[in-house]
Each structure stands twice: as structure tokens, then as C-alpha cells.
Chains A and B, each alone.
Chain A
Amino acid sequence: MSGKMCSSSNSIIQAQKLVDQLRVEANMERFKISLTAADLVQYCQEHRRSDPLLTGIAASSNPFKDKKTCVLL
């Protein structure tokens, strides 16, 4: 086979792979954003109280925040 034929058949292998890949993706079951986005929102809402960076937990319970020093009078 000449060099030209080799590269043609390589291109075909590549193109076939692309078509196969696109077929897999096209057959996927998809849902409307109104439904899926509602789930994303719900997840945030359900977990917001246990999100320290969101609620800003007190220095006493966050090991990275320095506790205020006590002064003994």
C-alpha cells in the first residue's frame, strides 16, 4: 500500500471512532434543566447548615481561626 493509502485508512479509523463515540453520546437519556437545576438547588439548601465556609463557624470550633486570648484580671 502506498503512503497515501495508509493515511487514508488511518483517517477512516479515526472518523469511525468519532462516529461511534457520537452515537454513544447521542443515545444518552437527558433531562430538562428545570428538573435537574431544581435538584442542584435542593442539594445546596439541604446541606447549607453543615457548610462551615458558608455559615461562617465560630472561632472556637474552627481550628484555623485563632481563638481570642484570655486575660486574667
Chain B
Amino acid sequence: MLASASPLIPEMATQEVQLNETLAHLKTESETLKSKLEEERAKLHDVELHQVAEKVEGLGQFVMKTRRTLKGHGNKVLCMDWCKDKRRIVSSSQDGKVIVWDAFTTNKEHAVTMPCTWVMACAYAPSGCAVACGGLDNKCSVYPLSLDKNENLAAKKKSVAMHTNYLSACSFTNSDMQILTSSGDGTCALWDVESGQLLQSFHGHAADVLCLDLAPSETGNTFVSGGCDKKANVWDMRSGQCIQSFETHESDINSVRYYPSGDAFASGSDDATCRLYDLRADREVAIYSKESIIFGVSSVDFSLSGRLLFGGYNDYTINVWDVLKGTRVSILFGHENRVSTLRVSPDGTAFCTGSWDHTLRIWA
């Protein structure tokens, strides 16, 4: 009869005990470090942001209306991005279509049909000469935009990124040459567009990564990502290292966006709140929420000065927040379904929203 449940070979028993001891030791060390981190962060919490902002004048009434409605997608709009020329927009949809619009005239300039549905991510290249997109195909592809309207854009398609799950977000870096992606496979990655080569990968999220944003160029080579693990991580692009991590949201983080100075970033989550994280204090410094707001935030962006934070919500509305005072200054109605994406234009004159109601709206 075999004796007990322990391994038959004595050496293996000893080794296993040793491994378990090491594991326990490491777990204790990580708990200690986590407590230390909380302590250090708490020491710096000497005042609230809205208290520092007490002397700042309050904001008046805002009149913002829909100035343009872009119609043409056959299904939910999932993502959009502005061109640096401040008038063109690229948008992508559940129906597999990617459309480039002139937002001033509402004319469609280009349209591409992707081989997959749910094109969850799209981005305009800094030069304005290409767009990137992807989704359920697990890839990020780049399409050069041709001046010749008759040219078949799909023919020039270049596959750049390959993930092992859906592409949730993509962004060109400072040039057309590199793309940063985030994926349902839990990673982010930096790619060379020309060769399709993986330049750096970023591991650390424990679940799908849903969004990312690059730091303003003056701030250096970092970016922030948010995921289904409720964490927002700040990464060093060169080393691949996670340099800061924030876990205060109570649900998936759908959107992250840097404050214009690069010293902070905002996030929007399924927990119905937007939050502001100060990178130098290394902690959350504001929560933008109301008891009456119970639907998730899909997308956030700042106005040019950073004073206003726009949030697109799953209850079809846009809430406008006073970043410094923490109060809501306006609520905008118009979309007939969830707002899924929101970006302020490069010169700050307007912002664009995309919705599950198949349309995009320009607000000013």
C-alpha cells in the first residue's frame, strides 16, 4: 500500500517544501512592499485638488451644441481619431467599415471595408497620409490614403501588428514609422510600420488592455494603458518597464488620456466614474462622479488647457467636468445610443463623439 499523499521520492518532497517556502517568502515580501507603497502615497496626501483650486474662478454656463452630424456607418461607431489638419476624421465601426471624413463639410473622402467586423481601433497618422485600424482580426493594419479617389485602398494595406486576441486601441507615435497597440491578449506592443517588426512589448496587465494614450512629446517616452484588471499602468517605451501603476477604479478602465502638461492623466471606467491621477504625487487626486450617474464611461478627453474633462457615457450623454473643482459643468444630449468614443480636435475648437447610434457628432 502506498504511504499517504506525499510524493514517493524523498528528494522531490524536500524540493517541493523548499519551493513552497520560497513562494511564501516572496508573497510576504510583496505584501510588505504594497503596504509600504500605500504608506508613502498616503504621506503625500496633504490636501485635495479642489482645495488647492478654491481660489480659481468658477466656470460659467456652457453652450455646446451638435454642429455637424456625420452619417454613413451602417452599424455602431466604435472609434474615431482626428487628423492633425484639424478637419479630417477617421472612424471605424462594427460593420467593418473605416471612413475618412472632412468634418467641415461632412463629406466622406475615403472608405475601406475591413475583412473583419468590430473594428475597435483606428488612428490617423501624424502626416495625415495614412490611417491604422484593427479589431477582431487581432491585427493592426495601415492603409496609405491616396489622393486618387478611384484607387482601391484595400490593395495597399500593410499588416503591422499581430496579437493573440482582439486589438482594442492603436496610436502612431511621433511619426508614421511606429505604432503602439493594446490588445485583449493583455499586452501592449510597439511596432515598426515598415517592417512589421515588434520593437517592444509591455507585460503587466492581468486581463484585457482596453485603451492607451501616449504622453505629450515634451514629457518623454512614456504611455499609459488601462484594462479590465481595473489598473492603469504607466510604461517606459524604451525599456518595456511598468514604472507606475494605479488601482482605484472598481471596474474596467475603458479610456485613459493624458492631461496636456503630461503630469497627470484621466481615466473613464465602467464604474461610472472618471478619475484624475497625478503622476508626480503617484496617486489619484480627483474623482468625477455623481450619484445620478450610474452608467459606465466609455471615453474621456481634456480641453486644450486641461480645465475641462469631457466624458462619453453609456447612457447616451456627454458630461463635462471642471477638472480642478471636481464639479460637473454641463450635460449634453443628442446621441440615441451609447457614446463609444470621444476626442477633442487638435486645435481645441471642437470635440467629436462616435456612438452606437451609427453616427458621429461634432460639438462646439
Contacts and interface: CB of A to CB of B under 8 A. Distances in A.
A4 B324 CA distance: 53
Contacts of B40: 26, 30
B244 A40 contact: no
A66 B67 contact: yes
A contacts with B: majority SS:
helix
A40 B34 contact: no
Contact of A53 (B26, B52, B260, B304): B304
B67 A65 contact: yes
A62 B104 CA distance: 10
Interface string B234-265: 00000001111100000000000001110110
A8 interface: yes
B15 interface: yes
B130 interface: no
Contact of B243 (A4, A24, A54, A65): A24
A37 B322 CA distance: 14
B276 to A, nearest CB: 8
Interface in A45-69: 45-48, 50-54, 56-57, 62-66
A63 B104 contact: yes
Contact of A36 (B7, B34, B281): B281
Given A52-B349, A62-B364, A65-B67, A32 B46 contact: yes
B304 A33 contact: no
Contacts of B22: 12
Contact of B305 (A15, A18, A22, A48): A48
Contacts of A56: 62-63
Contacts of A34: 46-47, 52
Given A9-B19, A47-B260, A31 B44 contact: yes
A44 B56 contact: yes
Interface string B88-125: 00000000000000011000000000000000000000
B29 interface: yes
B69 to A, nearest CB: 12
Contacts of B48: 33, 37
A5 B364 contact: no
Given A40-B278, A40-B324, A48 B47 contact: no
Given A30-B40, A31-B281, A47 B304 contact: yes
A44 B243 CA distance: 26
Nearest to B44: A32
B33 A33 contact: no
Interface string B19-41: 11011001101100110110011
Chain B interface size range: 35 or more
Interface in B158-201: none
> Which residue, B46, B264, B307, has most C-beta atoms of chain A within 10 A?
B307
Contacts of A43: 259-261, 263, 305-306
A22 B241 CA distance: 12
A2 to B, nearest CB: 7
Contacts of B308: 51, 53-54
B307 A8 contact: no
Contacts of A44: 56, 305-307, 323-324
Given A33-B285, A53-B349, A63-B87, A39 B263 contact: yes
Contact of B56 (A21, A23, A45): A45
A2 B283 CA distance: 43
Contacts of B19: 5, 8-9, 12
Contacts of A26: 33, 36-37, 40
B261 A39 contact: yes
Interface of A: 2, 4-5, 8-9, 11-12, 15-16, 18-19, 21-26, 28, 30-41, 43-48, 50-54, 56-57, 62-66
Given A5-B15, A30-B282, 20 more contacts: A2-B7, A8-B23, A15-B30, A18-B30, A21-B242, A24-B241, A25-B33, A28-B244, A30-B40, A30-B41, A31-B281, A33-B49, A33-B278, A37-B48, A38-B52, A39-B263, A48-B307, A52-B349, A54-B305, A56-B63
